[in-house]
Structure 1
């Protein structure tokens, strides 16, 4: 694996010094907790838009989807900025300030009446006054800033934390705790923050998010003197683009076998790179590293980077191409999960949500089942299952094997979802509520939704942490930050693709009417189960053909402080 080159400061060109190690762990993890909880304003956003801004259900849902899409897709831009221009540390600092500014604006919209339309007693009524253009402008500006800051910081901090360790084993442990901390923080957001917003006030709820943002930034800055910083390597995408252009420009040249006919870089760089000819995978790209007369200066440097690239640049692009099939399977994996999350709230609203005689579980808080399941699974796997597997099998569970387990539990979750929904529809039919309004509640406890949410939580504990670790290990060194953001992009893409799947189902079938009691949502879940099974088969093929880049020169970080 690429991470095998982390054996020492000298072995990693971008590493400035030997600071880092486990002493940085509390600072990084506390920062993850603070910045994740600061995004708690997203959890109950639909309710806020409906109650405070008199938005219709569809409009509020669209805004909510845009916000979630932005938070999950924009991290790739933050990663590019970190890799090419500012570095992880600066991006985290600036993005935290941006998100804080957006949250403060949200606090103002909740506290100042002039920034909201008049309160409407009959929600959804045509008599409710819509926000003015100025009020919309302030609202959308606050959401844009808060979304942008959250997107840039959430996944950029993952490679920042991983850079503190040289050992792939310790980096895997960090990624497990990074995921665990995010889920615990999300649990707090989905419970405590939502409770304050709905029972104390939106001003206080948003203020809690602002406080969490400030605390996360302060803790992060407090650990500055302990961090290991990695120098910026310039734009990695320019390097990849140069390979493509150089290969096309030399496409008619004959490729030799001898290593000396290819450019390996200056003498200093050649020491760090084994002087071998480029691999035969995507052989066409080897033209980019083929040396011709006049393309290098007397000291060995390149005269035109768009005409000649190093063998390492060529192999970096090949590494990305090899990973793409695995990434595409991860994208498809998230589609059933996104569809499940889209309908779980509608199901919960038709079921008995009472917990005792005085408390009802909000439909938006049902995701807590998934978050708790994921958090517990991460602790059990990290402390018990993975060490036990390593002792019995004499080797650790690979990242792709962990992703594969996540695939299986996702399929199981969709099967449970289909069975539970079939039972819910039968009860709705027996209670004769199929042709009634969506406000009708059937005598079936909302806790029936728990097993499917727990199963998908277990799945996420395996495939999410596994994908983050896999991409970080296998991406080229110049793309380490972007590697973790690739997971976020797949999740964001899945949200958009899930909408496309739902649109197709609506046009082709009658499974999704306005009232889910009149439809066949169970068939949608069985469709997701089938999609998951087919994707799992595709993943197995991709994983079996993929070859890890090899791990060597592993360093123990346990004694570094």
Structure 2
């Protein structure tokens, strides 16, 4: 029996109003970090042994195989910039990550099919005993399928890696929270640590599976992980904060640069009569540009309001008149370029892992003299990851709480100090590497192994651990510091580009490392022998390390100059304090400067 209308209405009026749960927050973190983690386990796990797969199953020589992998890694490192552009300007972060996850999954499925289907790769070599054979070369269509798999994986990485960090920060960034800065700093650290754990799993578990269970299972598991990553991320869609996209960011930057050049002969208005002289959007908080890089301010100077601005309040020719927001975005990018460039040298040092692999392979890798187990030469890179993770945990859970307890107030280390300290530790890592290699080479020669590069030198490979640890600390301080620095200094519309800049620096570093290596090899050749030789005992890798150490020390000085010329950060300006100590409304935070 239905209730009378008046009783129904009265009951509805008595019901409490439904409260919507605010979107974002810590609840979304597992879904975002899991997506990034699965992607890293899958992609990094595929890369480690890929040269063996190309040589054994596709018949590629070591030179061509390495060239293919170099192009793949270069594309993977550069694609995040494209992904950041599409995310900020057209697709939004959520849609970019979703499409990229699908692309990575499809790429890994294609790669798995190359291991499953004999028709998509060259026929195996079937030689009778005592005879030589050469398997047929891979056809164009077979290579096209392989390269398509690499391309799809690179596209996926380009969409996930720059957007996941910024998308996660979107869920936590709350300017009304007095501890917002501390929350973001903690998030950046834990995010970086979780990514490192994923890489560590890729370097151990996935590589072990490929070595012992074959390519079919070794490629199939990453594909399954990528499928799980896509499902987990999409499942939490209703919980996410999804920021609206703006117009093409790169177009806006280009318009600001062109307008500043076109208007280069204009006189800037004085401080007293600048009101109404600069073009800005109605809802913009920037009524006038900042005083830094003032020559760019000419891009938003209104010459004739009737001729420059339409009835809708927009510029009639955006290539001659830009908004104050566009000018400040260009300034933000120009300002951070010097600081960004200082991190390239650290990435060059970290990329020397192949030489460290040769060192470890020539040393005694037993844990003790009585032990029969040898640490694989390629596994020493774990010490870098372990050091990075350990620093993040100690810094967030021990060092800062202890310092805060001693000072009686919350304490944190300024981001520019952390970046500089990381660059100095990177210099120390190369100095230690040079010293250890000098000792290893001298010991090898004294044992009569100068012409035997495959022999084991009677010196423990544990001597290599300190340099790996120092590399991990340097990356933890500078890598995390730069990511935090870019994100806080850039406007919110550029946050994905902020996340992509560190990866772009790594890509540039790999190219420059190749140039430096070839220059050192060619310039150091004397009597047919150079510092860089296939026989590590004949070459002088210690001299090569010292070259990098000297360059790293010069880079530290360069960073000090860049940091000083940059001036105070956005957080320092916001809190009206440059020299370290600042007071908030209900809290006081001490920055060690």
Normalised by the length of structure 2, the TM-score is: 0.85
8 A contact 1:264–1:312 mirrored in 2: no
For 1:61 and 1:364, how far apart are their aligned partners in 2?
17
- 2:473 matches 1:462: no
Residue in structure 1 matched with residue 358 of structure 2 by the alignment: 346
Shift of residue 140 of structure 1?
A: 1.5
For 2:503 and 2:585, how far apart are their aligned partners in 1?
29
Q: How does 1:214-229 map to 2 (within 5 A)?
A: 214-229=227-242
Change (3 A) 1:549 1:29: same
For 2:230 and 2:542, how far apart are their aligned partners in 1?
44
Residue in structure 2 matched with residue 284 of structure 1 by the alignment: 295
Residue in structure 2 matched with residue 242 of structure 1 by the alignment: 255
Q: How does 1:188-267 map to 2 (within 5 A)?
A: 188-257=201-270, 258-267=273-282
- 2:458 matches 1:451: no
More relative contact order, 1 or 2 (CA 8 Å, 6+ apart): 1
Residue in structure 1 matched with residue 375 of structure 2 by the alignment: 361
Shift of residue 104 of structure 1?
A: 0.9
- 2:292 matches 1:317: no
**How many equivalent residue pairs?**
532
Shift of residue 446 of structure 1?
A: 2.9
Residue in structure 2 matched with residue 171 of structure 1 by the alignment: 184
Worse overlay, 320-329 or 423-432: 423-432
Which of 548, 552, 563 is 1:532 aligned to? 552
Shift of residue 194 of structure 1?
A: 0.5
For 2:147 and 2:68, how far apart are their aligned partners in 1?
9
Q: How does 1:493-508 map to 2 (within 5 A)?
A: 493-508=508-523
Residue aligned with 1:401, SS:
helix
- 2:58 matches 1:53: yes
8 A contact 2:346–2:474 mirrored in 1: no
- 2:146 matches 1:139: yes
| Structure exhibiting the larger radius of gyration computed from Cα positions | 2
Residue in structure 1 matched with residue 425 of structure 2 by the alignment: 409
Please, which runs of 5 or more residues in structure 2 have no aligned partner?
A: 1-20, 175-179, 525-529, 576-583, 587-593
Residue in structure 1 matched with residue 35 of structure 2 by the alignment: 31
Residue aligned with 2:412, SS:
coil
Shift of residue 361 of structure 1?
A: 3.3
Shift of residue 325 of structure 1?
A: 0.6
For 2:101 and 2:489, how far apart are their aligned partners in 1?
28
For 1:233 and 1:527, how far apart are their aligned partners in 2?
46
Change (3 A) 1:121 1:433: farther
Residue in structure 2 matched with residue 522 of structure 1 by the alignment: 542
For 1:392 and 1:237, how far apart are their aligned partners in 2?
47
8 A contact 1:337–1:456 mirrored in 2: yes
8 A contact 2:255–2:319 mirrored in 1: yes
Which of 549, 554, 558 is 2:570 aligned to? 549
Residue in structure 2 matched with residue 3 of structure 1 by the alignment: none
Shift of residue 280 of structure 1?
A: 3.5
For 1:444 and 1:494, how far apart are their aligned partners in 2?
32
Residue in structure 2 matched with residue 112 of structure 1 by the alignment: 117
Shift of residue 74 of structure 1?
A: 1.1
- 2:425 matches 1:421: no
Residue in structure 1 matched with residue 395 of structure 2 by the alignment: 381
Normalised by the length of structure 1, the TM-score is: 0.90
Change (3 A) 1:52 1:364: farther
Shift of residue 298 of structure 1?
A: 4.1
Deviations 1:478-502 (A, max 9, x none): 2111111001000111001000000
8 A contact 1:44–1:364 mirrored in 2: no
Q: CA RMSD in A?
A: 2.3
Shift of residue 131 of structure 1?
A: 2.5
Which of 385, 390, 394 is 1:371 aligned to? 385
For 2:342 and 2:507, how far apart are their aligned partners in 1?
14
Residue in structure 2 matched with residue 20 of structure 1 by the alignment: 24
8 A contact 2:422–2:478 mirrored in 1: yes
For 2:440 and 2:446, how far apart are their aligned partners in 1?
10
Residue aligned with 1:517, SS:
coil
Shift of residue 72 of structure 1?
A: 1.5
For 2:135 and 2:87, how far apart are their aligned partners in 1?
45
Residue in structure 2 matched with residue 337 of structure 1 by the alignment: 350
8 A contact 1:32–1:178 mirrored in 2: no
Residue in structure 1 matched with residue 76 of structure 2 by the alignment: 71
Change (3 A) 1:248 1:155: closer
- 2:137 matches 1:130: yes
Q: How does 1:143-154 map to 2 (within 5 A)?
A: 143-154=150-161
8 A contact 2:384–2:469 mirrored in 1: yes
